[in-house]
Amino acid sequence: MFEVILKKGKEKAVLQRHPWVFSGAIERVKGSPANGDIVKLLNAKGDFMAYGFFNDQSRVALRLLEWDENVIVNDMWFREKVGAAVKSRADILADGNTNTCRLIFSESDYLPGLIVDKYNNHLAVQILTSGIENVMPVIIDELNNLLKPESIFDKSDASSREHEGLQTTNVALTLNSPPENVEVKENGIIYNINIAEGQKSGFYCDQRDNRKIVASYAKGKKVLDCFSYTGGFTLNSLHNGASSVTSVDSSALAIETLRENIKLNNLDAAKHIAIQSDVNKQLRAFREQEEKFDIIVLDPPKYAPSRSALDRASRAYKDLNRLAMLLLNDGGLLATYSCSGAMNMETFKQVLAWAALDAGKQVQFIYQFCQPEDHPVRASFPEGEYLKGLLCRVIG
Ligand code: SAH
């Protein structure tokens, strides 16, 4: 096995079991490992520190897997990690009302660069590191053993693959391809998913708990669901007795699927309005029309892809939230999210405080949302935390 020597003074994060070693922390590579090979990391004195995936094309040159020198990282090791991750999702799927969730969440499940989502009996995988790419035959075999899925589809069309020097793909890894439409169930609500064409991996299962919480306030209320996608918050709110729900998304496919989802769930289409539009434009149009709502959901895409984009993103979040606050009836609720890892909860609260000030409103934070248990945050890997939200009561 090839060896990589860490620079003196760079041991702390490795000892704290952070799984990333940046290229700048590496003193020297002995020999010439190929990208994706498992290598041994040594400190400057030559003592063992960890085993990890090597990639000299990535800023994260090593992705650490195992800190015990006596544990060999072989096929069995990967099978065990897959098994443990799948087992830990059993509670989510237990009552039969939910058959979609994230089964494997990359570093947080000790498999850096592997994402596996379950959609009923189909799986979608994203392979984001060359190390995981190398062990995919074993991982696919173990997923087949454990779950016997009807199909496994590779959705690795993420730009992060380019950082690892990997091609983008979008193909079935099993003999069967998934059908064009797969019906999934989340908390008893049915969704039509197009695994091959849908955004990300077809469905945003990270909002499962939050949809339910927001919907618990929706009875008899006039709801506006911004960035609705295929209707996660919309369907839950209608199901819980909202008097009306307006959904806004810029994607025609999302809006079309949302309309189908309303029918699939036997919900009252007369209580629903779908608008295909840019949310920022639509919020301004509502203001001109003097339209008001009792509950507004803001679930925008990631505005800050990196820390350097945070200032600009903060201004965009502030503006969006300010516009929404102006459309709420006195005492109305704003459920607002950020899925930017670079934006932490403290900064997000600050952004909302600015938005409230600019809108001339008082805001009380009444609930803090986070990501659900199938998107765990590993204590030694805070970067795994990305989804946060606030339920705000907006007064004035
Ligand atoms: N709330 C959704 C997930 C939202 S994902 C759910 O519960 O499933 C973000 C969505 O924002 C995507 O559907 C995307 O099409 C949409 N989007 C991105 N930019 C937009 C914009 N400027 N205006 C309207 N929709 C936008």
Give CA–CA dist 175/36, Å, rounded: 26
CA distance 46 to 233: 54
What percent of the chain stands above pLDDT 90? Answer: 89
Q: Which of 101, 339, 370, 392 is catalytic?
A: 339
Q: Which pLDDT tens digit goes with each residue over 62-82?
A: 999 999 999 999 999 999 999
Protein residue with its CA nearest to atom 16 in ligand 1: 227
Q: Is 370 a catalytic residue?
A: no
237-295 residue pLDDT tens: 999 999 999 999 999 989 999 999 999 999 999 999 999 999 999 999 999 999 999 99
CATH architecture group of domain 204-395? 3-Layer(aba) Sandwich (3.40)
Q: Rounded CA gap, 356 and 223, in Å?
A: 20
Pocket residue to mutate for ligand 1, from 204, 205, 229, 246, most atoms within 8 A of Cβ: 229
The second-level CATH assignment, the architecture, of 3-66 is Roll (2.30)
Instruction: Identify any residues that bridge with 189 across adjacent strands, giving them in sequence order.
Output: 186
Residue nearest to atom 22 of ligand 1 (CA): 278
Closest by Cα among 314, 322, 271 to 298: 322
User: What letter does residue 34 receive in the DSSP assignment?
Assistant: P
| pLDDT tens-digit readout, 335-373 | 999 999 999 999 999 999 999 999 999 999 999 999 999
**Matching residue, tokens 């009996």:** 121
pLDDT of 225 reads 98
Q: Ligand 1 mean position to 301 CA, how many Å?
A: 6
Q: Where in the chain is the domain with CATH 3.40.50.150?
A: 204-395
- This prediction's pTM: 0.94
Residue intervals in the chain for CATH 3.30.750.80 = 75-172
Whole-number Å distance, alpha carbon 190 to ligand 1 midpoint, is: 19
Residues 75-172: name the CATH superfamily: RNA methyltransferase domain (HRMD) like (3.30.750.80)
